[in-house]
Structure 1
Amino acid sequence: MDTPAPSRTIRWEGDDDHVVTLVLDDPDQSANTMNAAFIDSLDAVVDRLATRRDTLRGVIVTSAKKTFFAGGDLRDLIAVTPETAGRSFEAGLRVKRALRTLETLGVPVVAALGGAALGGGYEIALACHHRVLLDRPSARVGLPEVTFGLLPAGGGVTRTVRMFGVTEALTKVLLDGRRYAPAEALAAGLVDETAADASELTARARAFIDAHPDARQPWDVAGFRIPGGTPDRPELAATLPALPALFRERLGGAPYPAPRAVLAAAVEGAQVDLDTAFVIESRHLTELVLGQTTKNMIQGHFFDLRTVESGAGRPRGVPSGTVRKVAVLGAGMMGAGIAHACARAGIDVVLKDTTREAAARGRAHSAGILERALRQGRTTEADRDALLARITPTADPEELAGCDAVIEAVFEDPAVKGEAFREAEKHVAADALLCSNTSTLPIAGLAEAVRRPDDFIGLHFFSPVHRMRLVEIVKGPRTGPLALARAFDLVRQIGKTPIVVNDSRGFFTSRVIGRFLDEGVAMLAEGHDPATVEQAAARAGYPAKVLALMDELTLTLPRRIREENRAAVEKAGGTWRPHPADAVVDRMIDEFGRTGRAAGAGFYDYRDGRRGGLWPGLREHFTDPALNGADLTGLGERMLFVEALDAVRCLAEGVLVSVADANVGSLLGIGFPAWTGGVLTYVNGYPGGLPGFLTRARELRDRHGDRFAPPDLLVRMAANGETFTDR
């Protein structure tokens, strides 16, 4: 038997059959990452393999962790500066040299993937001759670097181009950052086999070694050609110009440098030898990690998301728990979606509405989702039937007996919600968690309708529930820590991402997205062409254009919220200040009868429920021809600023209690552009930092009004050289 290799994070396990298993197992982390310790270990074990290649029959690369390998250490990448860029560049080349030695040992090397292999993990697998993936629900493979503003620079671009060809590598693996489930990965050729359990995983890896003693990578075989050819081939050259147009259309012109860098690395790397292509990858990565966009995206989409999901907002010291049976009150689109999410997590659901027929329609919503999933191969008939069996539609309140949680999703009216809770409380468990799915109504007022306000909390889901990850947990003034902990655990139990905010009208997400909507409509009021407004939102990186989103929500909703806010301000003795958008919304509703998509007419025209073009009347009634040629970047920046400034106000007022919640909530809940890293990371990363942002806010205030007035918190932090952070 071999003695242990001088390696901290890779365990060497030899056997009498001359097969070495390299077990990735960083003792200092719950997941393996490509940090300095791993790079040292990789060099050590690869050097050892190279010296013993004549006695080896094969190598298996596997992991002792739940995931195979989590990828590059993003703490190292976010910290790269112009002064340290050279060291980062060399570290990347060092990894690729080691992996290149591994794949050219002259013996078969198999990746036995017992869990997720994403990013750097899949790049390690690509350097093996064969890939076997454990078939379990949490397993995923792929190269998602582009979603963090990065590109795969551990050989991922170079090897996928040589596996699939330039076009297919870009569209199937690199540009979307798709994460493939086991069956999908097998069908797409990202892995070669799947295994049902750990023993089969090992057996299949050893079987490949036995059957392929001379295994080599396709690109190391004499006469190899890249599938589809290189970019100098006329047929491929003719298709390449369409790729930049494809991602420009997909991104709407938003400032995402990573897809462009991926495209460049793939096309350039296909025209040179393997080692030169590796260098090209590293050069493009180095350029990205020095840029602000990549740093923003790593912060928001990784570090802040991890902070939120790890439970930073959950009260400490409260034991964790699970919900067994939930009562969902209201079987409309939101209630039906919530019921589906709960049943999907294995929770029994009683879906109650005023009639059993209405409740059955809510259950049918789940059936429709599952039928689509069945057609796409994402579920089985048995799993579909089991999920639907967990949803009981009813109009009888007595069937709520035994429910240990209530999620109310009835009409957004305090009286209706209060009546629903008064009826439910008579039948559910005496200590049931009481949750209201409301998007704007203060929890303090709604809690007056229940007997146990300390067990009452807001759970703001987003539509469509089965696709939207975020849930905004709203803590009322009388909500107890146990209720908050139970709500947090329930949101995690159903696989959603929770942020925690304090009570206020509109909370965080609804309040801030309202600023975005109002600003877009205000631009119409100023005379800007509606197509210009929509293009400005797309150019800024918003996934939904502002006028289209207004139509989806219906124009009557913001007007109702406006009137509720006006009443609340005036009741408190304040003075209500109209917004420039108000007059446009009122004219659209009162003068033109256009209230949005549901009515078949809003800012857009609709036919059979499908959105057509912008309503021509917008130009007739609102557009000033003298404003042609508007600054799209400036208009988009107004949308970004008006949301960011209000997020700072939410933090100053105590509505928000953490920067991570602000960033994650804005990214996952209200479509704040992904390239920013979230609403407060955008402020931190603005040119000139907080002082630069403050200067620009004052310019916008002087030109467009007090909605751009910087809060005192921002002024103070800018003066002190601070940034928005939870540390």
Structure 2
Amino acid sequence: MIFEGKSLSATLLEEGIAELVFDAQGSVNKFDRQTVSELDQVTEALKNTAGVKAVVVRSAKSTFIVGADITEFTGLFSLSDEEVLAWVKQTSQVFDRFEDLPFPTVAAVNGFALGGGCEMTLACDLRVADTTASIGLPEVKLGLMPGFGGTVRLPRIIGSDNALEWMTTGRDRKADKALAEGAVDAVVAPEALRDAAIAMAKDAAAGNLDWQNRRAAKLAPLSLNANEATMSFSTAKAMVAAQAGKHYPAPHMMVDTVAKAAGLDRDGALALENQGFVTLAKTDAAKAQIGIFLADQLVKGKGKKAAKAATKAVEQVAVLGAGIMGGGIAYQAASKGMPVVMKDIAQPALDLGLNEAAKILGKGMQKGKVDATKMAKTLNNIVPTLEYSTMKNADMVIEAVVENPKVKGIVLKETEQTVADDAIICSNTSTISINQLAENLDKPERFCGMHFFNPVHRMPLVEIIRGEKTSDDTIAAVVAATLKMGKTPIVVNDCPGFLVNRVLFPYFAGFSKLVLDGADFAAVDKVMEKQFGWPMGPAYLLDVVGMDTADHASGVMADGIPERMQKIDNDPVTCLYKAERLGQKNGKGFYDFGTDKRGRPTKNPSDDAYALFAPHCADKRDFDSEEIIARLMIPMANEAIRCLEEGIVGSAAEADMALLYGLGFPPFRGGIFRYIETMGLANFVALADKYADLGPIYQLSDGVREMAAAGKSYFDQA
């Protein structure tokens, strides 16, 4: 044994081949501080062991190394710039020392080799992967750039163009693609990986493979002439500007760093990488995106824990109501291999539901993501019916009929009389109280809300709403079924609008008040899209939701929370609804929708909408972007805080993920609570107080004032 630590060990095999094996105590290998320290120790041990002629680096687990330990980042990045720089410099030098070993090194890559795991393979002279391998540098998804030499080594191995595409998109490569691009030297079957790596190491040690020149290229400047460099980096900058935009500094920093380092040797290039990493680590975008990663882990962990506790398996699903939403839900379950009965009272509705599933699959085929077999299997999993009796074998029924409590109540009552005694019944409602709907059932303990978002196949979130009488077993089974359907479940307690719509409607109310005060809705949309970062501004989003749906839901919210959400006099949304301008569904709302001469969709601010609002609005005037953002976001933030204080949602992290997955909250802002805390709670209180005279949706709870005064964080709460 050359070295034995907690995360890795090294032994000497026959013919002078040393085997360095990563095998951390947890489920995966990652570069936490312990592992980095042990890598440095084993490097020194290998260097000082007589008889070592080459080293093979492999994993004892089903995956190579998943990257750095991100849970360490939050504390680490709160240190001073100098301390963060010292850490990243020391860590990257550990990889340098390994790269400088006086004999060839070969990485045997299986499963994921991401981030620091990929950088470990790049520090080796040769790389062999098995067919399960996925290799990449996804740091950009955390608002960061590679920090352990990735920006230096990858461009010198596969060329700057390919390397920048890898790093600025964060997409990993399967083994064959990595081979084609030169990132690995061979691909073998999983069972042959270790032997292939050892054989490659023996060849290199014997001088049959020129590992010295490969290493020399990684230590030298990039082999680009001035014209090639100009073309490469200007193209990369243009691509990043178009795809990432101004809100995401990491990809821009990567291009600049590689460009500036092109003429430098390894040490000079690494110094630039270290500094760029520190700069990004201190950005709000990195804090937000790391927060998203950690929140996503929390949500996934809660989901897995609940699913593990499920005592009832959901094998067969029934969907009641076969419109666009019902068809989308049926498709989602069927596409994951679950048999689905889709029931409606009219054949045209069933046809619509099946057509919705077929349309989604058809688009998938056009993009090459779905083949004929997948399409046939999915459609064959959906059985359309007009009869209740066909649902008798369903383990779970999802009611998705019209958003009307009386209609839903009747359907739920009939359903309970038809299905098995232990079948779970869910309502896909966006606003109606689960406790109210449960009154229609004899066994409310087996009932909960299951709120899907439209379009179902694209939106990751499902809000699972617990009623007062819903059992833990029911929630666990529905969480498990949601995960089986490929969605992210977040469990919330019952209230009007639940979580996502409850925080969305104050945002819409803030927008309506702004328009009535003389703001141009198109200008508001531009600010909220281009500056705040929403995928759609509020007017455009309302057009997509539909004015009929929005007006109805605002009525439900007004009835449920009258102290803050009373309907607004002359609300532009209601004005459009009464004028039968429903939005995209009939081509006219805030915007007029159509197609140009080439058949491409068009969207233009409607003169008719402006004329409709004019009698009710103050004289048109320009609002600065900061005021527009404040007047829309304070009500949303305020309501999110109240939901957390009232126990509607379990944590700030879950609220952030719900808005990210359910509404498309800008990822670079990290979610609604991350946005509040980035601003600073004391600053948020001062900003809200500035607009308090606009009404209750701008007025703070005592809880947030106490949090701000005490200097507390919503993310520190259990």
Normalized against structure 2, the TM-score is what?
0.89
Which piece of structure 1 moves more, 420-429 or 442-451? 420-429
Match of 1:324 among 315, 325, 328: 315
**Distance change in 2, residues 1:194/1:645 (3 Å):** farther
Partner residue of 1:600?
Answer: 587
Partner deviation per Cα, 1:543-590 (whole Å, 9 max, x = no partner): 2222221111012211111223344567xxx7974437x522233333
Aligned match of 2:336 in 345, 359, 366? 345
Q: Which residue of 2 aligns with 1:117?
A: 113
Find the aligned partners of 2:479 and 2:30 in 1 and give their Cα distance. Answer: 28
Looking at structure 1, the residues matched to 235 and 517 of structure 2 have their Cα atoms a distance apart, in angstroms, of 42
1:446 maps to amino acid:
L
Shift of residue 442 of structure 1?
Answer: 0.8
Which residue identity lines up with residue 275 of structure 1 in the other structure?
D
Within 5 Å, which residues of 2 pair with 1:219-234? 220-221=216-217, 226=222, 233-234=229-230
Q: 1:91-150, CA deviations, whole angstroms, 9 ceiling, x for partnerless residues?
A: 3233333333444546554433332222222222333345455545xx643222222221
Structure 2: how far apart are the matches of 1:462 and 1:178?
Answer: 26
Greater displacement, 609-618 / 140-149: 609-618
Report if the CA contact (8 A) 2:12-2:52 is conserved. Answer: no
- Counterpart-to-counterpart distance in 2, 1:485 and 1:82: 37
Output one character per residue of 1:62-88: Cα deviation in whole Å (capped at 9) or x when no partner: 223343222222233211357554343
SS at match of 1:499: strand
Aligned residue identity for 1:636: I
Question: In the alignment, which of 329, 338, 345 is matched to residue 354 of structure 1?
Answer: 345
After TM superposition, the structure 1 = structure 2 runs for residues 312-461 of structure 1, keeping only pairs within 5 Å, are 318-319=309-310, 321-355=312-346, 358-359=349-350, 361-374=352-365, 376-378=367-369, 380-461=371-452
Amino acid at match of 1:350: V
Partner of 2:502: 511
Quote the residue 1:584 is aligned against: 572
Aligned-pair distance for 1:595? Answer: 1.6
- CA separation of 1:626/1:459 partners in 2, compared to 1, >3 Å: closer, same or farther? closer
Q: Does 1:41 align with 2:38?
A: yes
C-alpha distance in 2 between matches for 1:601 and 1:216: 67
Q: 1:679 aligns with which of 667, 672, 683?
A: 672
Q: Does 1:141 align with 2:131?
A: no
Please give the secondary structure, in 2, of the residue aligned with 1:311. Answer: helix
Which residue of the partner structure matches residue 656 of structure 1?
A: 649
Deviation, 1:644, is: 1.0
Give me the whole-angstrom Cα distance separating, in 2, the residues matched to 1:154 and 1:298: 18
Question: Per the alignment, do residues 550 and 192 of structure 1 end up closer, same or farther by CA in structure 2, a change over 3 Å counting?
Answer: farther
Shift of 1:607: 1.4
Task: Quickly say closer, same or farther: Cα 1:619–1:667, change in 2 above 3 A.
Answer: same
Among all aligned residue pairs of Structure 1 and Structure 2, give the percentage whose two residues are the same amino acid: 31
Report the 3-state secondary structure (helix = DSSP H, G, I; strand = E; otherwise coil) of the residue aligned with 1:465: coil
Matched, 1:24 2:22: yes
**AA partner of residue 584 (structure 1):** P
2:275 corresponds to which residue? 283
Per-residue deviation at 1:435? 1.2
User: Which whole-Å CA distance do the structure 2 matches of 1:709 and 1:277 have between them?
Assistant: 52
Matched residues in 1 for 2:583 and 2:647: separation? 34
C-alpha displacement of 1:290? 2.8
Letter in 1 for 2:315: R
Deviation at 1:542, TM superposition (A): 1.4
Distance 1:602 1:111, change over 3 A: farther
Aligned-partner SS, 1:61: strand
Cα distance in 2 for residues equivalent to 1:513 and 1:186 = 47
Separation of aligned partners in 2, 1:72 and 1:642: 38
- 5+ residue gaps, structure 2, are none
Instruction: Kindly indicate whether residue 698 of structure 2 is the aligned counterpart of residue 708 of structure 1.
Output: yes
1:640 aligned to which of 606, 623, 633: 633
2:152 counterpart residue number: 158
Shift of 1:692: 2.0
Amino acid at match of 1:709: Q
Q: Distance in 2 between matches of 1:394 and 1:187?
A: 50
Distance 2:382 2:193 in 1: 36
Aligned residue for 1:457, secondary structure, equals strand
1:668 offset after TM fit, Å?
A: 1.5
Q: Could you tell me whether the CA contact under 8 Å between 2:464 and 2:490 is conserved in 1?
A: yes
Residues 1:8 and 2:6 aligned together: yes
Letter aligned with residue 666 of structure 1: L
In structure 2, relative to structure 1, the CA distance for the partners of 1:123 and 1:75 (3 Å cut) is: same
SS at match of 1:341: helix
Change (3 A) 1:141 1:427: farther
Q: 1:231, 1:271 within 8 Å by CA — same for their partners in 2?
A: no
Q: Secondary structure at the match of 2:689?
A: helix
> Are residue 88 (structure 1) and residue 93 (structure 2) matched?
no
More off after superposition, 309-318 vs 706-715:
309-318
How many Å separate the matches in 1 of 2:619 and 2:105? 67
Equivalents in 1 of 2:179, 2:335: separation in Å? Answer: 25
- Structure 1 residue identity aligned to 2:269: A
Q: Where does structure 1 lack aligned partners over 5 or more consecutive residues?
A: none
What amino acid does structure 2 have at the position aligned with 1:552?
V
The alpha-carbon distance between structure 1 residues 403 and 282, as it changes in their structure 2 partners (threshold 3 A), is same
Call closer, same or farther: CA 1:607–1:73 in 2, change over 3 Å: same
1:63 aligned onto 2:59 = yes
Deviates more, 1:503-512 or 1:114-123: 114-123
Cα separation, partners in 2 of 1:201 and 1:350, compared to 1, 3 Å: farther
Report if the CA contact (8 A) 1:231-1:237 is conserved: no
Listed as ranges, the matches of 1:171-570 within 5 Å are 172-180=165-173, 194-196=187-189, 198-206=190-198, 208-209=200-201, 213-215=209-211, 218=214, 220-221=216-217, 226=222, 233-236=229-232, 239=235, 242-243=238-239, 245-247=241-243, 250-251=244-245, 253-254=246-247, 256-299=248-291, 301-311=292-302, 318-319=309-310, 321-355=312-346, 358-359=349-350, 361-374=352-365, 376-378=367-369, 380-538=371-529, 539-568=531-560
Distance 2:324 2:300 in 1: 26
8 Å CA contact 1:458, 1:475 repeated in 2:
yes
Any idea what SS the aligned residue of 1:43 has? helix
Q: Deviations over 1:338-379 (max 9, x none)?
A: 223323333222222334564355345444444544554545
The answer as to whether partners of 2:221 and 2:264 remain within 8 angstroms in 1 is no
Distance in 2 of aligned mates of 1:406 and 1:132: 49
For 1:417 and 1:227, locate their aligned partners in 2 and report how far apart those are by CA, in whole Å. 68
Matched, 1:97 2:90: no
SS of the aligned residue for 1:310 comes to helix
**Contact 2:450/2:463 (CA < 8 Å) preserved in 1?**
yes
Q: Name 2:714's counterpart in structure 1.
A: 724
Asked whether the 8 Å contact 1:604–1:615 carries over to 2, the reply is: yes
Shift of 1:389: 3.4
Q: Is the 8 A contact 1:326 1:407 kept in 2?
A: yes
- Distance in 2 between residues matched to 1:288 and 1:223, nearest whole Å: 25
Runs of at least 4 residues of structure 1 off by over 6 A?
A: 222-225, 312-317, 623-626
Deviation at 1:632, TM superposition (A): 1.7
Comparing 31-40 and 348-357, the one that deviates more: 348-357
Q: CA deviation at 1:458?
A: 0.7
The letter for the 2-side match of 1:43 is D
How far apart, CA to CA, are the structure 1 residues paired with 2:452 and 2:83? 45
Asked whether the equivalents of residues 310 and 480 of structure 2 are also in contact (C-alpha less than 8 Å), the reply is no
| CA distance in structure 1 between the aligned counterparts of 2:141 and 2:590, rounded to whole angstroms | 32
One-letter code aligned to 1:412: E
Moved more, 343-352 or 47-56: 47-56
- SS of match in other structure, 1:661: helix
More deviation, 180-189/490-499: 180-189
* Rounded Cα–Cα distance in structure 1 between residues aligned with 2:459 and 2:110: 28
* Cα distance change on mapping 1:182 and 1:424 into 2, 3 Å: farther
Q: Secondary structure at the match of 1:80?
A: helix
Which stretch shifts more, 409-418 or 203-212?
203-212
| Matched length | 705
| Matched letter for residue 266 of structure 1 | V
Check 1:453–1:84 CA distance in 2 against 1; reply closer, same or farther (3 A cut): same
**Alpha-carbon separation, structure 2, partners of 1:483 and 1:390:** 24
1:492 CA displacement: 2.2
